């Protein structure tokens, strides 16, 4: 039900009020009881990673197999739109917008830190091996967390939205992804529940990324201009950049968001060229090929691994999978409503096969190149160069990128790269925030692709507030708090995603049959 007048004009009042109430309650509890809140959050993380790590692992594997099956099936030729419709955006613009929304800000933060942690701390897949083998496995595990499985999670939601919106002509809202299963019931109380869960996951998933991004921007400013790394500075940065993101989201998808996404892609390419040209070129190229082939070989092994007992059986918080794989799958699931809506909006006119291979396959390849360029350079510095990156990562994860620039020993070029890196983190921060704001407002407007400005401003502000509160609540353990928020927010939405798979199959079957009848009549 959309209100036509008053404060909630253009939005569903029930979904909006409940979502806003949950977020405001969370903010109040954290600010009023900071110590207790930190303990609650920590306990929640332990509970989810202890009891549900198998669930996250199972889902990501099933989603990937499910999508590959659809892509190679008879349904792959079905067009996401009218049969004569063609895509609005070029491949370059399409991939730029996909990547900016899907992984940009997060992969900048983790592309060096994660391989370095796996290299120095080990993984369950390569213990007691040589340094070279450990480095290769560090890249493979990073590929696993940022590659096919991650994009498959996004693709489930995006494909469901594309089918119901562009084939069944329903609004581009999360509630309508289950329309093939529940029909008009999604327009009532069931739809409110779906929307609230989606908004809850999206707000906390984006807040996690914004919290990580602002710590890295602070680190970049410290590296370049010696701006102090403090909580106060980070809160100011959140406020400033949230304001910039609001200006962008008010300009719309085809102006601010599209332009910033293209800027992101060009800056990304520029930094990739920097690493391959001034870094250990041969080592990076060999590592890219070797790690990719090994990743494909080990993909089944990675997907069926479930850690039942941590290395330290007396400390369940020491579970490797809880800190890594479970966090990532939870993060991607919590981002899936946001990324799914955004990807669906920019993918109309493509075939199902083209859509799946583009979203899951091409995006994963770009992630592999990125991880090797950034993380591979850092690993080379530890193996053959001056080192120091692992020490910087252990001291402050957000300094990983700038420590790698210094380890490359390229003089003034490293300073320029540091400036570009800081700008890139900032632009990805803005695009994540503005895209997320637009999507949340779209969800609460029941699929209206141009929600009112008042709703964009409200939810953009909420995103910044939640990110700031999570940083304050976490204190010295802010990273753990941000990770926990993503994992917990993903759990209820993961159930909706399972239902989406059944809805996708039902919709594909019906639409394929309808197209077959249409084609036969045309031939006659």
Tally of domains in the chain: 1
pLDDT of residue 11: 87
- DSSP per position, 94-115: HHHHHHHHHTHHHHHHHHHHHH
Minimum mean pLDDT range among 354-368, 444-458, 465-479, 509-523: 509-523
Mean pLDDT of 248-275: 80
Q: How far apart are CA 34 and CA 472, in angstroms?
A: 8
Domain assignment of residue 428, yes or no: yes
Q: Are 342 and 442 in contact (CB under 8 A)?
A: no
pLDDT at 314 over 90: no
DSSP 3-state of 405: helix
pLDDT at 476 over 60: no
> pLDDT averaged over the chain?
87
Minimum mean pLDDT range among 1-15, 436-450, 508-522: 508-522
Domain of residue 157, CATH code: 1.20.1740
Q: Measure Cα distances from 45 to 49, 54, 307, 309, 484 in Å.
A: 6, 14, 16, 16, 5
Residue 477's pLDDT band, with cuts at 50, 70 and 90, is: low
pLDDT of residue 237: 92
Domain assignment of residue 146, yes or no: yes
pLDDT tens digits, residue range 48-83?
888 899 999 999 999 999 999 999 999 999 999 998
pLDDT at 313 over 60: no
- Structural domain span for residue 473: 70-306+321-515
Minimum mean pLDDT range among 133-142, 188-197, 354-363, 426-435: 426-435
pLDDT of residue 180: 96
SS (H, E, C) 428-495: HHHHHHHHHHHHHHHHHCCCCCCCCHHHHHHHHHHHHHHHHHHHHHHHHHHHHHHHHHHHHHHHHHHH
Residue 524's pLDDT band, with cuts at 50, 70 and 90, is: very low
Q: How far apart are CA 509 and CA 377, in angstroms?
A: 47
Write b or e for each residue in 157-187: b if 16 or more Cβ atoms lie within 10 A of its Cβ, otherwise e.
Answer: bbbbbbbbbbbeebbbbbbbbbbbebeeebb
- DSSP per position, 143-200: HHHHSHHHHHHHHHHHHHHHIIIIIS---S-GGGGGHHHHGGGGGTHHHHHHHHHHHH
Q: What is the DSSP code (8-state) at residue 319?
A: -
Taking the C-alpha atoms of 448, 451, 452 and 453 in order, what is their torsion angle to the nearest 10 degrees?
180
- Say which residues have a Cβ less than 8 Å from residue 373's Cβ, sequence separation at least 6: 111, 271, 272, 275, 276, 279, 284
pLDDT tens digits, residue range 87-139?
988 988 888 778 777 776 778 889 999 999 999 988 888 766 788 899 999 99
Domain assignment of residue 498, yes or no: yes
Per the structure block, which two tokens stand in for 516?
Answer: 């077959």
Provide the residue count of the chain: 524
Mean pLDDT of 435-446: 86
Domain assignment of residue 44, yes or no: no
Domain assignment of residue 506, yes or no: yes
Write b or e for each residue in 380-412: b if 16 or more Cβ atoms lie within 10 A of its Cβ, otherwise e.
Answer: bbbeebeeebbebbeebbbbbbbbbbbbbebee
- Say which residues have a Cβ less than 8 Å from residue 146's Cβ, sequence separation at least 6: 103, 107, 110, 111, 328, 364, 367, 368, 371
pLDDT at 345 over 80: yes
Residue 1's pLDDT band, with cuts at 50, 70 and 90, is: low
Mean pLDDT of 251-263: 71
pLDDT of residue 315: 52
Domain assignment of residue 24, yes or no: no
Domain assignment of residue 240, yes or no: yes
How many other CB atoms are found less than 10 A from the CB of residue 72? 12
Q: What is the DSSP code (8-state) at residue 325?
A: H
pLDDT of residue 522: 39
Q: Is 0.95 topped by the overall pTM?
A: no
Mean pLDDT of 349-355: 96
Closest-CA residue to 165 (of 80, 238, 241, 247): 80
The dihedral built from the CA positions of residue 418, 421, 426 and 427, taken in this order, carries a sign that is positive
Domain assignment of residue 39, yes or no: no
Residue 431's pLDDT band, with cuts at 50, 70 and 90, is: confident
Q: Are 121 and 382 in contact (CB under 8 A)?
A: no
Residue 40's pLDDT band, with cuts at 50, 70 and 90, is: confident
Minimum mean pLDDT range among 90-94, 167-171, 210-214: 210-214
Residue 274's pLDDT band, with cuts at 50, 70 and 90, is: very high
Beta bridge partners of 3: 9
Mean pLDDT of 281-293: 96
pLDDT of residue 254: 63
pLDDT at 357 over 50: yes
pLDDT tens digits, residue range 378-407?
999 999 988 889 999 988 888 899 999 999
How far is Cα of residue 78 from the mean position of the Cα atoms in its chain? Answer: 27
């Amino acid at each position: 039900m959309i209100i036509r007048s008053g404060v909630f004009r253009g939005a569903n009042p029930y979904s909006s009020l409940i979502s806003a109430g949950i977020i405001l309650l969370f903010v109040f509890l954290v600010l009023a009881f900071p110590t207790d809140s930190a303990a609650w959050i920590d306990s929640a993380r332990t509970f989810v990673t202890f009891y549900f790590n198998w669930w996250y692992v199972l889902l990501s594997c099933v989603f990937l197999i499910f999508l590959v099956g659809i892509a190679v099936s008879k349904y792959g030729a079905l067009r996401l739109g009218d049969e004569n419709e063609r895509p609005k955006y070029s491949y370059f613009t399409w991939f730029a917008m996909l990547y900016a929304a899907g992984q940009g800000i997060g992969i900048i933060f983790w592309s060096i830190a994660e391989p370095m942690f796996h290299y120095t701390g080990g993984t369950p897949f390569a213990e007691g091996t040589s340094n070279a083998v450990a480095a290769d496995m560090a890249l493979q595990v990073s590929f696993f967390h940022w590659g096919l499985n991650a994009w498959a999670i996004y693709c489930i939601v995006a494909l469901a939205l594309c089918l119901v919106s562009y084939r069944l002509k329903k609004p581009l809202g999360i509630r309508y992804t289950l329309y093939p299963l529940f029909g008009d019931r999604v327009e009532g109380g069931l739809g409110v529940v779906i929307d609230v869960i989606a908004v809850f996951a999206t707000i906390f998933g984006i807040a996690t990324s914004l919290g990580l991004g602002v710590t890295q921007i602070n680190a970049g400013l410290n590296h370049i201009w010696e701006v102090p790394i403090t909580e106060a500075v980070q809160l100011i940065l959140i406020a400033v950049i949230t304001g910039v993101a609001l200006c962008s989201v008010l300009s719309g998808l085809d102006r601010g968001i599209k332009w910033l996404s293209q800027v992101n892609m060009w800056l990304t390419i520029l930094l990739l060229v920097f690493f391959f040209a001034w870094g250990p070129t041969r080592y990076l190229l060999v590592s890219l090929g070797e790690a990719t082939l090994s990743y494909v070989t080990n993909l089944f092994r990675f997907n069926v691994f479930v850690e039942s007992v941590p290395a330290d059986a007396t400390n369940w918080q020491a579970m490797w999978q809880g800190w890594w794989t479970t966090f990532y799958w939870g993060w991607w699931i919590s981002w899936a409503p946001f990324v799914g809506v955004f990807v669906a909006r920019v993918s109309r006119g493509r075939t199902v096969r083209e859509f799946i291979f583009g979203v899951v396959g091409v995006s994963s390849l770009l992630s592999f190149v990125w991880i090797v360029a950034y993380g591979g350079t850092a690993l080379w510095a530890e193996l053959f160069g001056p080192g120091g990156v692992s020490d910087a990562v252990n001291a402050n994860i957000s300094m990983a990128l700038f420590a790698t620039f210094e380890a490359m020993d390229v003089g003034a070029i490293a300073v320029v790269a540091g400036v570009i890196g800081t700008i890139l983190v900032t632009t990805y921060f803005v695009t994540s925030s503005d895209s997320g704001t637009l999507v949340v407002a779209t969800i609460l407007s029941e699929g209206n692709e141009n929600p009112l400005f008042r709703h964009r401003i409200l939810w953009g502000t909420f995103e910044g507030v939640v990110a700031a509160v999570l940083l304050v609540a976490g204190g010295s353990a802010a990273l753990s708090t941000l990770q926990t928020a993503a994992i917990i927010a993903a759990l209820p939405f993961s159930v909706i995603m399972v239902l989406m798979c059944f809805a996708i199959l039902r919709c594909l079957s019906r639409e394929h049959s309808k197209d077959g009848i249409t084609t036969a009549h045309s031939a006659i």
